[in-house]
Structure 1
Amino acid sequence: MISGDDSTIRKVKAPLLAMTKDISNLQRVRGGIGAASSANLINQVLAGIHISAAAEALSFAARLELDPNVVFDVVELYAGKQRAANPRCDWTPIVPLSTSMKAVAMFIEEARQLKLPSPVSSATDILYNAAAANGWVNEGDAGVVRFWELLTTVSVANSVLEAAKVVIRGQNHNLPTNGSSAVRLRSFQIS
């Protein structure tokens, strides 16, 4: 993302192209200097909210003894392009929870200064801080899943591992065959 006046953006076009490799990978945010940072902050908060919601939903699926991979695939399929943002729900710790926590905290502070309510972001902040308090600050998205496992005493990870054993034995025909679940099975192993 980039923001700023046209003349400045033209001056830095070459370095931008070197970083993005294709100008179509660069999103221009109108609004002057700092607008792209604000848009990025909003994106980070939406990702955090979606991750928190996904962790809660997968804990619910595990409690119902549903295969979290199948539930995830079904939700992902039916949500499709209707989502406001695409959550990073593969549970691979790409970004430490601490980074997401900072973005959510910054968003809440900005909302407070603008006198805007932010109850969903505040709930996400509470979940992230609880996960961090339990030592999962470097886990990324999986730290939020671990927190829900702690709250519900249901292991999402074990549910996935049990489903994997069934798949390995060839007994579960409900899982997709495109390999998407297998990737998540490997990355979901949070012990």
Structure 2
Amino acid sequence: MQDATRTTQTRVGVIGLGAMGSGMAASVRRAGYPVAVFDVRPEVARAFAREGGTAHSSPAELATTVDVLVSVVVNAAQVEDVLFGADGAADRLREGSVFVMCSTVDPSWSVALEERLAERGILYLDAPISGGAVKSAAGELTMMTSGSAAAYAVAAPVLDAMSGTVYRLGDRAGNGSKVKIVNQLLAGVHIAAAAEAMALGIKAGVAADDLYEVITHSAGTSWMFENRMAHVLAGDYTPLSAVDIFVKDLGLVLDAAGPTRSPLPLAAAAHQMFLQASAAGLGREDDSAVIKIFPGIELPTPVVDADTVDGLGA
């Protein structure tokens, strides 16, 4: 049961209302927390606030109003901008507040960020997330977190409101991001392998929907095959997670392996596949669009409702 006293006293901010951040902010709001939001698209922040909460015009303005600030942006460069850019939050967060960083980043960068924020009296949680937009909206994300006991003391109930499982992986930043790097290695390789397998079956003359039905009920399936190849069957490459995300994330995986001289042949091959897709102009399509790099296959196309076609032709 949610602690009613903490709910009324802890003020939460969320920066970044994309597919993940919007669900996280909504989950925190459902738990009874006062929620302040910022997004680079002001209309998105205002739409969220109409259902409850407050929209702000900059990270700095938002920072003055919160005890826990959750950042759900794409990469380290965007986190830097949120904190230290023009109208950044770092100079306005009060001492003892907690910055929760949910992006996939180089673990060494996250370690350094904890130190930079500590100089300002700001607590920090390294807290990458996994689960996708559906689990985000349901408050059932997996969070891979590490940080100080003091940071958890303030932010733990907020993390619980956003997630199904919060893993505590250490008492300082770094391990959360290290585990997320491993997760992204597997996710990227699984998507690339799923695309390769589906392309092979289609080129061999098997109907895509038959292949999907059999594989998802066989030992060779994976969560990524089931989820991403459903996008291929629908012919829908609307980006829930884009090709360029895995160009970035698998690049981080390979960079992280360097200091320990860890060979990553599968991650390297998958990274090349996503790079090829991006170079072909598919970078902003859904990551399942990596299947389009395979030549000589006819992919499913979207089913268009007859009434829609009539309407377009009218």
Partner residue of 2:291 out of 145, 161, 169: 145
Q: Find the residue that maps to 2:216 and give its secondary structure.
A: helix
Q: Find the residue that maps to 1:79 and give its secondary structure.
A: coil
Residue deviations 1:1-45 (CA, integer Å, cap 9, x gap): 21224443232113223333xxx4323334742211111122122
In structure 2, the CA distance between the partners of 1:64 and 1:52, relative to structure 1 (3 Å rule), is same
- Structure (1/2) with the larger strand percentage: 2
- Structure (1/2) with the larger helix percentage: 1
Runs ≥4 in structure 1, deviation > 4 angstroms? none
2:255 maps to amino acid: E
Q: Find the residue that maps to 2:146 and give its secondary structure.
A: coil
Alignment of 1:105-144 (within 5 A): 105-144=251-290
Q: Distance in 1 between matches of 2:158 and 2:170?
A: 20
Q: Find the residue that maps to 1:52 and give its secondary structure.
A: helix
In structure 2, the CA distance between the partners of 1:7 and 1:77, relative to structure 1 (3 Å rule), is farther
1:12 maps to amino acid: A
Counterpart check, 1:41 vs 2:178: no
Partner residue of 2:197 out of 57, 60, 65: 57
Counterpart check, 1:74 vs 2:214: yes
**Structure 1 residue 73, shift from structure 2 partner:** 2.5
**Structure 1 residue 116, shift from structure 2 partner:** 0.8
In structure 2, the CA distance between the partners of 1:28 and 1:78, relative to structure 1 (3 Å rule), is farther
Q: Find the residue that maps to 2:218 and give its secondary structure.
A: helix
* Residue equivalent to 2:83: none
* TM value normalised by structure 1: 0.69
Counterpart check, 1:13 vs 2:156: yes
CA contact (8 A) 2:277 2:293 kept: yes
Q: Distance in 2 between matches of 1:6 and 1:42?
A: 24
In structure 2, the CA distance between the partners of 1:73 and 1:32, relative to structure 1 (3 Å rule), is farther
Structure 2: 5+ residue runs without aligned partners?
Answer: 1-142, 232-236, 304-314
Q: Give me the CA root mean square deviation.
A: 2.3
**Structure 1 residue 102, shift from structure 2 partner:** 0.4
Q: Distance in 1 between matches of 2:216 and 2:202?
A: 17
Q: Find the residue that maps to 1:142 and give its secondary structure.
A: helix
* TM value normalised by structure 2: 0.44
CA contact (8 A) 2:169 2:175 kept: yes
In the comparison of the two structures, how many residue pairs are matched? Answer: 151
* Residue equivalent to 1:180: none
Q: Distance in 2 between matches of 1:17 and 1:62?
A: 43
CA contact (8 A) 1:98 1:138 kept: yes
In structure 2, the CA distance between the partners of 1:147 and 1:9, relative to structure 1 (3 Å rule), is same
* Residue equivalent to 1:170: none
Q: Percent identity?
A: 24
Q: Find the residue that maps to 1:25 and give its secondary structure.
A: strand
Higher relative contact order (CA 8 A, sep 6+): 1
**Structure 1 residue 71, shift from structure 2 partner:** 1.5
